[in-house]
Structure 1
Amino acid sequence: MTEATPLARTSLDQSGDARPEPDDDTPLAVAERRRADHNRHRVAIRFAALTTPGYLFMNAMAAVIASYGLLADSPAVVIGAMIVALLLGPIMGVALAITDGDWPLFRKSFLALLAGGVVVYAIAAAVGWLHPLVPITGEIRSRTAPNSFDLFIALAGGAAGAYATVSPRIAAGFVGVAIATALVPPLASSAILLTRGEYDASLGAALLALTNIVAIQFAAAVVLWVRGYARDNDGDEVSVLQFLGRHLGSIAVLALLGLWLAANLRSTVNDRLYENRVRATLSEALVDLEGSQVDSLQIFGLEDRMVIRAEIHGPIEPTVPQVARMADLIPAHPDGRPVDLRVRHVETRIITPRGLTADGIDPPLSGPPFAEP
């Protein structure tokens, strides 16, 4: 004789449907509560993925604040602007739609995400057009050369956003701010750069936004699948192969973007290493010029050569033969292009109570003061 499965203790909710008591721990009651939570979260995700006037207005205001924060080179303003952005909802809608195979939801969510992105891009372009004399800041430049680190950040952000959305104890709004920070600033940077005619940099920022969108969506879908939200047509949980099959497009796009981002990371690392080698070489060559030091270094490429601009501060101006010797000592660039060294000298002096002394040369502890040059 088999033992009967205990029935869940139920009560009627406002609609008259039976629901398990909160303190009922029978397997059936636990399953019913889980199903009810999933349904509630699905409704919330569907609602957040709608294109509404409020959704468009909040994203528009986020674009205005973010654009001016980028032009002001203020990270605090850029991050603060994302409090009003509403881009997590459509991305979660796309993730749930692909996970469930719900194509009507996918269409609505994708259109909402597209509408929000177009609003952000258009308003940022308008801000850039209104202020053509404001220089491009570091906050904008930092989003024009994405690499593998940005991909990992987006994957972590998507997983956190999805987990917060389906976890009642975590406020999804704060995670949404972090995700919006990964989307609105790159879109705004791309639009501003486009108005300045910097098309390559604009494309780099746009690809950063695309990378973040795809990575956040895929990571969110993985979390939803792990949490049991992925269902087939019969209502059963989908297998790993079914899940991967539904997200084959996202995986392919992520793989292509990952290869490109890895190449960017390698190029960035090589450029940093080469810059450090050049700086060290110039510093060693300045030993003969007592008190001189390399203050800043810029390296950029032309079609036929690499240009190195070095700003040297010191009391002694280097001669042309000395600059030629520095150029000979500079290591070759990794891509094989010849190096063109250009030195800008800035005379520096330090005034002490005992007289004038060169920058980096300590005055003697005793004796007469330094004579004025």
Structure 2
Amino acid sequence: MKVADNADHYARVHKDMEDACSFDQPLVVMNALATVVACYGLLSNSSAVVIGAMILAMLLGPISGAALALVEGDLALLRKASLAVGGGVAIVLATAIVIGFMHRDVPLTHQILERTSPNFFELMIALGGGAAGAYASISPRLSIAFVGVAIATALVPPLASCGLLLARGEFELAAGAFSLAFINIVAIQSAAAFVICASGIARGHWAKLLAPNLINVGILLVLFGALLINLRTLVGAALFEASITQGLRQELREYPGTFLADVRVSRGHEPDATLIRAVVRGPRELNAGDVGRLEDRLPRPSDGTPLQLRLRQIHTNVMTRNGPLFSAEDAGNGDR
């Protein structure tokens, strides 16, 4: 990695990082405004607005300052950076909670819900963004502005989602959103610390600088393991739901005019049961025997739990100028 190797440049980088750790009026105002724009982007389900809002956010500087403080063992700078990070997080949460109370009647959107489950990919994005942000901070040829926008997308949207969910009393989902933001903060700080050490910017003997990075490595390994397990669980659940959907569509071909409208897979009231909720539309009313046959032909859960199929039926006919395309009589004429 190439950086300017003169003392003046090192001193300037240090000063810039220290100045970015101030919990002052610009940090409060810009993070509050970024949250306002982000919240309305989340509520309107607009990814473009959510990303655009991050131009206003000021969170990268304090996190990079915390990384520098940890690497150098500068407790005074660490306290200053921690106050700025904590204050920025508090401002985002408070602003989002207020907006959430104002719009509790607005349905939860995909943009909000997709930020309630931390995963391995989010961790990798945060690591890449943190490394890019730290490199831009210490390089005289790069601007940190655009990198800061990219990193803010990993922090303000999940924090804003957390605040919106807290205002609705959705504490479990809010905890997931906050966990995502926390994991991203740790990942960004860790990546920034590695880059600072590798660049030679940090002051002190290499042995002194090694300990904080070993701690970061340990934390990251724990996060990697936990999120990889979570990713494997999510992928397995998605594949199982896809196999159930495909199986139901295949079996419903035996019932002319009947088609699958929706499928949901979840745990039933009994802890050792996998519940399949399906919605079907068609001219024929399926009876208990039909549901039993469908249930018996579906793929089994990998964990060995019994499968329960619950079918919600919506009676429909496809009408043409010559009459119904599929009537109840057509569906039950023995063509199965």
Whether these two folds match at TM > 0.5 is yes
Number of residues of Structure 1 aligned to a counterpart in Structure 2 = 324
1:180 is matched with which residue: 152, 158, 169? 152
How many Å apart are 1:259 and its aligned residue?
A: 2.5
- For 2:281 and 2:190, the matched residues in 1 are separated by 51
Residue ranges of structure 2 left out of the alignment (5+ in a row): 328-336
Deviation at 1:358?
Answer: 5.0
Question: Is 1:263 the equivalent of 2:235?
Answer: no
Contact 2:37 2:53 in 1 (8 A): yes
Partner of 1:151: 123
**Aligned pairs (5 A) from 1:237-276:** 238-239=205-206, 242-276=208-242
Q: Quick check: 1:145–1:264 contact (8 Å CA) kept in 2? A: no
Matched, 1:202 2:174: yes
CA drift at 1:350 = 4.8
Quick one: percent identity of the two aligned structures?
Answer: 43
Q: Which moved more, 1:99-108 or 1:242-251?
A: 242-251
TM-score between the two structures when normalised by the length of structure 1: 0.80
The answer to whether the aligner puts 1:326 opposite 2:294 as a matched pair is yes
How far the C-alpha of 1:315 sits from its partner, in A, is 4.2
> For the structure 1 residues 179 and 32, does the alpha-carbon distance in structure 2 shift closer, same or farther, using more than 3 Å as the test?
closer
In structure 2, what is the Cα distance between the partners aligned to 1:53 and 1:31?
32
Of 152, 171, 189 in structure 2, the residue corresponding to residue 217 of structure 1 is: 189
Shift of 1:156: 0.5
Q: Return the letter of the residue paired with 1:107.
A: R
What is the rounded CA distance, in whole Å, between the counterparts of 2:222 and 2:292 in structure 1? 44
**Which shifted more, 83-92 or 126-135?**
126-135
Q: Which has the larger radius of gyration?
A: 1
SS of 2:211's partner is helix
Q: Does residue 72 in structure 1 map to residue 38 in structure 2?
A: no
Give the TM-score of the pair, scaled to structure 2: 0.89
Of 53, 62, 74, the match for 2:34: 62
Q: Deviations over 1:58-89 (max 9, x none)?
A: 00111111112212211111111111000001
- 2:257 matches 1:285: no
The one-letter amino acid of 2:306's match is: P
Residue identity opposite 2:266 in structure 1: F
Compute the RMSD of aligned alpha carbons.
2.3
Residue 102 of structure 2 corresponds to residue 136 of structure 1: no
CA contact (8 A) 2:3 2:138 kept: no
Match of 2:330 in 1: none
- 1:343–1:301: structure 2 CA closer, same or farther, 3 Å change rule? same
Equivalent residue for 1:51? Answer: 23
Which secondary structure does the structure 2 equivalent of 1:310 belong to? strand
Q: CA deviation at 1:41?
A: 1.6
Q: Alpha carbons of 1:105 and 1:351: their partners in 2 closer, same or farther (altered >3 Å)?
A: same
Which position in structure 2 is the counterpart of 1:362?
none
Q: Partner amino acid for 1:327?
A: E
Tell whether 2:163 aligns with 1:171: no
